[in-house]
Structures are given as structure tokens and as C-alpha cells.
Chains A and B, each alone.
Chain A
Amino acid sequence: RKEVEQDPGPFNVPEGATVAFNCTYSNSASQSFFWYRQDCRKEPKLLMSVYSSGNEDGRFTAQLNRASQYISLLIRDSKLSDSATYLCVVNGIPGGGNKLTFGTGTQLKVEL
């Protein structure tokens, strides 16, 4: 089983739609969680950290469910510029050093 699993998509949505991505992780001892965004042939960029209490940044909302080992990202009122690959990332696995463990990414295409 992969350490971090995501649906690769693609998710094709019309502009203005709400879209949700899910991710599961296998190691219950994981301590830190993130969503990164990666544009085609570019480096990953931090979108937001994910906290147990849930957190929101503008049109983006992230949730963490430790009991189910599940992370989600909700994008409201999607824009053409949101088209990218969204990477679910886990860090802080005891004994795992400080490495980030990435999912394969979920591709989002926002269309007119």
C-alpha cells in the first residue's frame, strides 16, 4: 500500500464550480500534513498546511481527519488559474526524518 494515496483524476470542472480532493495516508504516526500545488513542468509550491481543526485560505479549505487518516481539499468558485496538479503531502513520520512523502497528485482542469 502506498504511504499517501490520491485519485490521479483528471477532474474536469467548469469555471465557478466547487471541487473536492481526498487523500489517505497509511502511517497513523504522521504529524504534519500539507497540500502543494504543481503547475506543468514546474516545481511544487506550498498551497496550505492542514490542521485537525480545519483551516481556510480564501477559496480553499483543508480538513484533516486523524481517526480515518484522511485529508481533504475543497476549492470553491474555481478559476481557470486553479488548473494544476494538487499534491497531498505528509511529514514528520517518527523515524522518517524530515522528508516529505507525496501522493501522486490529483490533476484539476478548470474549463470555460
Chain B
Amino acid sequence: DTGVSQDPRHKITKRGQNVTFRCDPISEHNRLYWYRQTLGQGPEFLTYFQNEAQLEKSRLLSDRFSAERPKGSFSTLEIQRTEQGDSAMYLCASSPRVTGHTDTQYFGPGTRLTVL
């Protein structure tokens, strides 16, 4: 257990419904990341926060996706009007603030989304 928690662990929804996932990072970590992983692939970067500021978004993050980290602690990822192609594992990671580019990211257990 890395200390990053995600809720729910599993979500089954019907196409067209909205879903929201929550991530609680390790408490002293100020950086938070969202990734998506589909079967047989490595995780793909979605977005990144430093404290409450969303600093980078992938082109994978369509306008149906929105992420927030309002108080610089937990984060939510919302998917509106879900599509079957959204079925994936959604992973959250956090890291402490360090100098330079190297910062070890610790992953939560993920939320597995199935869109029927």
C-alpha cells in the first residue's frame, strides 16, 4: 500500500451516464497525476496538478473529461456522457516536490471503469 487511495475501486455504468472518481494522495505530496490504462497497454498520462493548479492536460483529455483539485489535497476526475471507449483503469499517482525533473510517482490502486 503506497498511501495513495482511490474511490471507488470499481465502477460499472451505462453509456451516457456521468461518473466521478476520487483520489487522495500521500498527505505531504503536492503533485498529483491522473493516468488511464487499457488492456495490454501501459498507463497513459491524462493530467497533472501542482497543489491546486492544473499544469498540464493531455490531448487524450477530451472536453467530456474534467479534473479538479480544489484545495490542493484530494482530486476528482469526472467523465461526462460516458462512452464504451472510456472503459479502462484510471490511475492516480502523487509525488513530493523535488528539484529537477526526477520525482518518484506513487500510484494508487486505480478505479476500474466499465461502460456498458
A and B associate in one complex: yes
Chain A residues in the interface with B (C-beta under 8 A): 4, 8, 31-32, 41-46, 49, 87, 89, 91-92, 97-105
A30 to B105, CA, bound (A): 17
Known: A43-B108, A43-B110. A98 touches B103 (CB 8 A): yes
Query: How near does chain B come to A46, taking the closest CB pair, in angstroms?
Result: 6
Known: A43-B110, A44-B107, A91-B101. A98 touches B31 (CB 8 A): yes
Beyond contacts A31-B100, A45-B107, A99-B58: 14 other A-B pairs, Cβ-Cβ < 8 A, are A4-B42, A32-B102, A43-B109, A44-B107, A49-B104, A91-B101, A92-B101, A98-B31, A98-B103, A99-B56, A100-B43, A102-B42, A102-B44, A105-B42
* Chain A contact residues, majority secondary structure: loop
B interface size (C-beta, 8 A): 29
Chain A-chain B contacts (Cβ-Cβ < 8 Å), number: 65
A97 touches B107 (CB 8 A): no
Q: Which residues of A contact B113 (CB under 8 A)?
A: none
Chain B residues in the interface with A (C-beta under 8 A): 2, 31, 33, 35, 40-45, 48, 55-56, 58, 91, 93, 95, 100-110, 112
